[in-house]
Chain A
Amino acid sequence: MSRNDGGTRLISLRQVTKTYGEGTASFQALNGVDLDIGQGEFVAIMGPSGSGKSTALNILGCLDAPSSGHYLFRDIEVDALTRNQRALLRRHYLGFVFQGFNLLSRTSAQENVELPLLYRGEDAAHRHDASRRALAQVGLTGWEHHTPAELSGGQQQRVAIARAIVTQPLVLLADEPTGNLDSKRGHEIMELLVSLNRDQGITVIMVTHEPDMAAYASRVVRFADGNVDSDSMKVAA
């Protein structure tokens, strides 16, 4: 049961499994996931805790490799790529917001946000402007020089979002991006994601527990026990 929001096919998972550990202690977090996501979609992934949402998102973000099955990104067989090629894929096409933020400690918000641009080889002036713009988009103007330790959980989460969108990636993958935010901030971030999706055509794949937030998506994929349980398209986007 896979659907396509009219756009060209961007992402395909085929019979993807992920097994953690070995032998009797092993655990199969994903068992044979099939999923297609088209260019320009806004997908919300929901499901109970431990159902494999983060595992699937990590594979989609080329951070982790499936144990078996295939991952096609723009018809490229990701599993066949070298480490460096996958890194370049992340660098040029993907933006990732981690469940646990993963910011560099003792490093200012702005330097954290600049980092992906630095690896893209952007010059200092562009890095400066783009990172400030991204921080402004998540409502953190005036907080540029604060380090993660000086920011609240919600502010850190917004820095993480800014770092993911600063490169204007082809695909934004966000693991519970509103998990630490109050509902007002949560809605603001959703508005931002919707506008990035609508105005810049960025494909958004977001894991969330909150139906409120999932409501912003045009498509909701539900996970249960390591597989896709239901996949529903909203009528009015």
Chain B
Amino acid sequence: MNQMLLNALLLALRAIRRNLMRSFLTVLGIVIGVGAVITMVTLGNGATRMVSDQISSLGSNLLILRPGQQLGPGRESAGAANFRLADIEALQAQIPSLRAVAPVVGSRVTLVVGSQNWSSQVSGTSNAYFTAGNWKIAAGRNFDEDEETAGKAVCVIGDTVRKQLFGSGSPLGGELRVKNFTCVVVGLLAAKGQGAMGQDQDDVVLMPIRTVQRRLTGNQDVSTVMLSMRDGANTDQVMVQVRRLMRERRKLAENEEDNFNVMDTKQIAETLSGTIRTMTGLLGAVAAVSLLVGGIGIMNIMLVSVTERTREIGIRLAIGALEHEVLLQFLIEAVVLSALGGLIGIALAFVTCLGLTALMNMPFLFNPGINLLAFVFSAVIGIVFGYMPARRAASLDPIVALRYE
């Protein structure tokens, strides 16, 4: 019995060797199918995870208030008035469900330290920004009251800015040249890494808003307001309250449309990750088609060689092979080829995913389920198309199999 298995194995390996091209194409078909499915699904999983990570790094229950109608292409905030610091105070004072309200006004500027320069986003804001944006101070401190009200030239920098301008040394107490003034670094933000859109969240410089207004923008405007809700607050309710208050403060008549908009970042992120999930499903489906096409390719190869193989089976039967011995050989052959293809496909997908996720700064989530599924599917295809024609041929009379055309 054992001897028979060994013989069948030997015969199967010989058959694989003497039909190298056919074996290679079979394996290739499976490799491509399995590799594609696993790669697509793994990358999709990574993208989804990246977005959900982003949701949590955004900070909980964050609303963003911007001038202009609903954000979107062609619907810029042009024309709509910006906010004032008084709006911020009103929001903070009148809506108890808000934990922190941070004004933001930004400008892209070139920063210089010694001979190093670096272009970055400077945001004028208040200490509420750290709460609203879920930022931790890694070293140093946030702004003190005096700095905020007087608009002093101090800043808190992100980790990327530190790396670019201060290298390995401590940035605290360092001086940063921003256009026509110099500001002192008082704090360093803890690194957050890449955002959902691939942007570098650590490439920021924060200053008291009055500093930015006076020295960079030259007006009293606040372009964005970040509103952090208290835990357990009802988002819809808070949004209604914010809307009502802002309409009132902007003196909008009953029949006028909002000239500002409030977005729920969590909702945006969830919509985004939902979209990515759909994309993953779609890509997975495309990949599944490629697995199927691979399978059909294998079927073709097998069918083309069915004449030769039927005659081969006739020869084996004629010189005394038993039906089940021939079948065992063919089964082993099919299993070896499809398992080989499946394993190479898995390895290839692993390497590809490792490379692509690193390239795209995505987490690499190994998904055992899809690996197993693709492997099993490929094995089934290989066995069905490799073994089934053999089954038919082995049931023929030897002389009939030998004459097969």
Binding site for B on A (CB under 8 A): 58, 61, 63-65, 83-84, 87-88, 90-92, 94, 96, 98, 102-107, 111, 115-116, 118-121, 163
Contact = CB atoms under 8 A, between A and B. Distances in A.
Contacts of B325: 119
Given A102-B311, A105-B308, A92 B399 contact: no
Interface string B336-376: 00000000000000000000000000000000000000000
B397 interface: yes
A110 to B, nearest CB: 12
B251 interface: no
B319 A96 contact: yes
B399 A102 contact: no
A87 B315 CA distance: 12
A83 B396 CA distance: 10
Given A87-B321, A87-B322, A105-B308, A58 B399 contact: yes
Contacts of A115: 316, 319
B225 interface: no
A116 B113 CA distance: 86
A104 B312 contact: yes
Contacts of A91: 319-321
B18 interface: yes
Given A107-B14, A119-B325, 6 more contacts: A83-B323, A98-B318, A104-B18, A111-B14, A116-B320, A121-B4
Contacts, number: 68
Contact of B7 (A88, A94, A105, A119): A119
Nearest to B19: A106
B116 interface: no
Nearest to B314: A102
Q: B-side binding surface: helix, strand, loop or mixed?
A: helix
Given A64-B399, A118-B10, A90 B18 contact: no
Given A105-B308, A118-B11, A63 B316 contact: no
A107 B18 contact: yes
A116 B319 contact: yes
B398 interface: yes
A119 B18 contact: no
Interface string B305-331: 000100110111111111101000000
B399 A63 contact: yes
A88 B322 contact: yes
Given A58-B399, A64-B399, A104-B315, A118 B7 contact: yes
A94 B317 CA distance: 12
A17 to B, nearest CB: 16
B397 A64 contact: yes
B3 interface: yes
A58 B311 CA distance: 16
A230 to B, nearest CB: 27
25 contacts: A63-B402, A64-B398, A64-B399, A65-B397, A84-B322, A87-B317, A87-B320, A87-B323, A90-B318, A90-B319, A90-B320, A91-B320, A92-B320, A94-B320, A98-B402, A102-B315, A104-B18, A105-B308, A107-B14, A118-B10, A119-B7, A119-B319, A119-B321, A119-B322, A121-B7
A63 B321 contact: no
A121 B321 contact: no
Nearest to B402: A102
Given A64-B399, A83-B323, A121-B3, A102 B318 contact: yes
A63 B398 contact: yes
A61 B7 CA distance: 24
Nearest to B315: A102
A83 B401 CA distance: 14
Contacts of B311: 102
Interface in B65-109: none
Interface in B255-272: none
Contact of B318 (A83, A96, A107, A118): A96
